[in-house]
Amino acid sequence: MANQPTTPNTEESGEAITRRKLLSWLTGMGVFGSVLVSAFSNFIFIKPRATYGQPNRFSVGKPDEYPAGSRMTLDARRICIVRDGDRMAAISTTCTHLGCIVATSETGFACPCHGSHYDQDGNVTGGPAPKRLPWFQVRLAPNGELEVDKDVEIEPGTYFNV
């Protein structure tokens, strides 16, 4: 029998690896790494990271905290609590033009950003605002505090009797 030439790239030598084996190993590692990254990202993003902001129904204190004839703005909640005798209302202080916070003025409300003006009831009297300021539902909670629900818009001029 004739001697067969030996190649240095055989598995038997244990020193070198073939190109095919190297590419197969690299491909396998790439697929394995992709599966790990995909599984990890799916576990991270299963729980939503959404913040839903402040609740739309909240307490604004007892009716006695608001003297008759007062208009108090709660900038953090973007509302103005109006007390007219024994009647109370909550008017939005978010401008209907571009969402700026309107300030109270002697004639009603005024937007410092774009010049919209509203009367005491939130009706547009000037500027670019397309519609009136919304009124929100006010009611008395079981603990005796006033509760405003910004999810429920009511007709302007509808007051809650305390």
**104-140: pLDDT as tens digits:** 888 889 998 888 999 989 999 998 999 999 999 999 9
The answer to whether residue 5 is domain-embedded is no
pLDDT for the residue numbered 145: 92
Q: Residue 29: which region, alpha, beta or left (left: phi > 0; alpha: psi -120 to 50)? A: alpha
pLDDT category of residue 8 using cuts at 50, 70 and 90: low
Tell me, yes or no, whether 65 and 136 share the same domain: yes
Helix (H, G, I), strand (E, B) or coil at 153: strand
Helix (H, G, I), strand (E, B) or coil at 90: strand
> 136: closest CA among 96, 88, 99?
88
CA 26 to chain centre: 45
Domain at 111, CATH number: 2.102.10.10
Q: Which domain holds residue 38?
A: 15-50
Q: Tell me the whole-structure pTM to 2 decimals.
A: 0.66
Report the relative pairing of strands 87-92 and 135-140 from DSSP bridges: antiparallel
